[in-house]
Amino acid sequence: MIDGSVKKASITLESDIRYLKGIGGKRSAALRDVGVEKLIDLLYYAPAKYIDRSMVVSVAKLRKNWWEFQRINAVTFIGRVVDKKILVSSGGRQILEIVIDDGTGRLSCTWFNKIEYFKRQFEIGDLVAVFGKPSVFRGRINIVHPEFDFLTEADSVNIHTGRIVPVYPLTSKLKSLGLNTLKLRELINFVIDNYIDYVEETLPEKILAKYGLVPLKFAIRSIHFPETHEGLQLALKRLKFEEMFLLQLLLARKHYELKHFEKGISFKKIGELVHGFSRILPFKLTEAQRRVVREIWNDMKSDKPMNRLLQGDVGSGKTIVALISMLIAVDNGYQAAFMAPTEILAEQHYATFLNFLDSLPVKVRLLIGSLKSKEKKEILSEIENGEAQIIIGTHALIQERVNFKNLGLVVIDEQHRFGVMQRAMLIGKGYNPDVLIMTATPIPRTLALTVYGDLDVSIIDEMPRKRKVKTEIVPDTERERVYEFLRSKVREGHQAYIVYPLIEESEKLDLESAIENYVRLKNEVFPEFNLGLVHGRMPGTERQEVMLAFKEGKIQILIATTVIEVGIDIPNATIMVIESAERFGLSQLHQLRGRIGRGEKQSYCFLIAKSSLFRKSSDDALFEFEDEATEESKAMERLKIIASTMDGFKIAEKDLELRGPGEFFGTKQSGFIKFKFADIAADKEILEIARQEAFELIKQDPNLSKPEHAGLKKEFLKRYSDEVNLAKIS
């Protein structure tokens, strides 16, 4: 199966996939698209699922033991096609019948849908394996809509049926070039038969023995052609562990490099700014906040660069902790930069910081792209001469003309919304500044260990007060009831938010809809109240004026798009109505709800969703497209999760289960955590063990120079050689 123009002896597992016989330029390009570039990549091409075709029976045996086989879910038959015809039922419906003879008797296979398509698949004389649950049709053993494979080689039976068989993920490009599951099985089987002996063990013997992990050769063979279900599970466990272990090894190595090779800033004191801030703070820090401040201070006074992740639920007080950290930097003669992903978030943080620091001798500046050139020029000058001490900004902070005099601390908010190089460019504005990363909502532990595994982690696991928020899911047909409740509460002196979605893909239409609804609500629904509108396209000054009027109580109902996710603390705002709630993600819904329940009064959150989500009739479901039904059920599941808990950590875990790591973080981080076999949400125990072993191994052998780690080092460098020296960036 090696291309005749190439000597077999010269082919290795590292050879290009195109040297396999039958894999030309087009096919190799299609395989590259799914990550298969070399022969060895075929061995790691993970099946999407498995079908148990180990029970192969003859027609005669089935007839003899009919009732016994009725208890079995499905069986496999192998035979030749001897007839194909279209039948017509008494109701006039067409039925395709394919008759197969296995030498002991005949059975029929019938299709009621896609008849012409399936008819074209079969020719008289084809050797075929069919798989399904047998029944009786027109006096003959029959399988309705069976799965089937065509057997073309003498040894095909060994890999295509009579065993547990793999089914591979296929792109339309692969299918169009004839690279279907059968062909992939044959290619992979060839590579295993001829090259498996060249596969080198990667994991140390000590780890294999400690956790009962099977050798790599056995795992690779069993992941594609398992002899038993138990063997398949052992292979999966081994390959999952290896993937997670190698990634944790990278993170452990990055952590080691940072702590041993990099010289950072040693902040010597907690000075007057921090002490003054603690005196004017209108509330006491929680014990969790104080603990986290101590953890950050211990990092900052060390001469090693801080690289810390700050986690906490919505409203737990992360911003205050970040602000104290920045004041420590300023107290020691350094500047602090705070980078937010959007101008709106940067503006909101700027307003919050100004409010807290109003009476302290510290200069806070905002640098965003929409500033007028004269104002921007002044701020750039202040940053360069050190007059600006705390600088809040967006991507504008990483522009070439931004020069800090003495950058000592970088705080990155919602860092998953920035690319690796963007973060690196900001950090590069100083000489090994300390880095504090914040997340808007909690990240599940497994994801934190994977994406931020090289960082030290601080968790604010205590809320300033228990939030009194009742959450209700409401069909849009009952919107008037919600409006009436809102009206009664506003008359009592409460304030309310009504939030409309603003989704990137349909931003223009969503914005128009929000503005139209504002006009309608103002003129027709709530004419007796003062309403305000804020959205992302408004000039910053206008938006700030509206928010200030809402804060001062001049506006009673604020109509908003999702620009109010963070940065607003208005205790009198006790009602939130979220329109088209099914269009929001879990994290977004939790952030939005975090704007209410900040005072002593009972608060209420209404999730208004389209009425079709509430359908209970199975008859209705018959008329839904499958994708639509799935999306609607997922949407309702999200809403039920939000309604059931206020705990952001629980919500984050559920969000990860529903969406997977790639979607949880978006495209910028998803490539970093694409495992072929492991599942971050499902394989928590394996991840914990892999992390523990990886960090311990790097502690004992940081350069993987011991002889017993030779295979591991080779595989580690093959996968991550380009990333080992990026400890400061990620």
d(CA 414, CA 209) in angstroms, rounded, equals 41
d(CA 416, CA 440) in angstroms, rounded, equals 10
Residue 627 has pLDDT above 50, yes or no: no
What's the average model confidence in pLDDT over 209-223?
Answer: 97
Q: Which two tokens stand for residue 194?
A: 């001829």
Q: Residue 625 has what pLDDT?
A: 41
Residue 589 has pLDDT above 80, yes or no: yes
Give the bridge partners for 292, in sequence order.
none
d(CA 197, CA 553) in angstroms, rounded, equals 75
Using the structure block, give the residue that is written with the tokens 């522009």: 399
From the CB of residue 206, how many other CB atoms can be counted at a distance below 10 Å? 11
Q: Residue 662 has what pLDDT?
A: 61
Residue 159 has pLDDT above 60, yes or no: yes
Grouping H, G, I as helix, E, B as strand and the rest as coil, residue 488 is helix
* End-to-end alpha carbon distance in the chain: 43
Does the fold of domain 469-645 match that of domain 55-162?
A: no
Q: Residue 324 has what pLDDT?
A: 97
Lowest mean pLDDT among 187-196, 218-227, 410-419, 581-590: 410-419
Please give the mean pLDDT across all residues of the chain. Answer: 87
pTM of the model: 0.76
Percent of all residues in the chain with a pLDDT value above 90, rounded to a whole number: 53
pLDDT digit string, tens, across residues 544-579: 788 889 989 999 999 988 766 555 678 899 999 999
Question: Which residues are CB-contacts of 661 (< 8 A; sequence separation ≥ 6)?
Answer: 447, 450, 451, 670, 673, 680, 681
Distance of CA 468 to the CA centre of its chain: 30
Lowest mean pLDDT among 28-42, 188-202, 617-631: 617-631
CATH number for the domain running over 284-301+315-440 = 3.40.50.300
Of the two residues 383 and 419, the one the predictor is more confident about is 383
What's the average model confidence in pLDDT over 257-268?
Answer: 86
d(CA 221, CA 697) in angstroms, rounded, equals 28
| β pairing state of 390-393 and 364-367 | parallel
What's the average model confidence in pLDDT over 618-629?
Answer: 42
- Write down the domain spans for the chain: 8-46+170-199, 55-162, 284-301+315-440, 469-645
Using the structure block, give the residue that is written with the tokens 């849009």: 476
Q: What angle do helix axes 684-700 and 229-261 make, rounded to 10 degrees?
A: 40
Q: What is the largest CA-CA distance in the chain?
A: 95
Q: 422 near 395, Cβ under 8 Å?
A: yes
pLDDT digit string, tens, across residues 376-404: 999 999 999 999 999 999 888 988 899 99
Q: How many residues does the structure list for the chain?
A: 730
Q: Residue 8 has what pLDDT?
A: 55
CATH number for the domain running over 469-645 = 3.40.50.300
Of the two residues 728 and 609, the one the predictor is more confident about is 609
Residue 4 has pLDDT above 60, yes or no: no
The superfamily (CATH) of domain 55-162 is Nucleic acid-binding proteins (2.40.50.140)
What's the average model confidence in pLDDT over 134-140?
Answer: 80
Q: Residue 562 has what pLDDT?
A: 73
361 to each of 264, 276, 322, how far by Cα in Å? 27, 10, 18
Q: Residue 55 has what pLDDT?
A: 81
d(CA 503, CA 80) in angstroms, rounded, equals 55
User: For residue 590, which of 314, 312, 311, 319 has the smallest C-alpha distance?
Assistant: 314
Of the two residues 260 and 722, the one the predictor is more confident about is 260
pLDDT digit string, tens, across residues 34-65: 999 999 999 999 999 998 888 888 889 888 88
d(CA 511, CA 527) in angstroms, rounded, equals 22
Q: 342 near 394, Cβ under 8 Å?
A: yes
Q: Residue 7 has what pLDDT?
A: 53
The helix/strand count (H/E) of the chain reads as 28, 22
d(CA 110, CA 187) in angstroms, rounded, equals 31
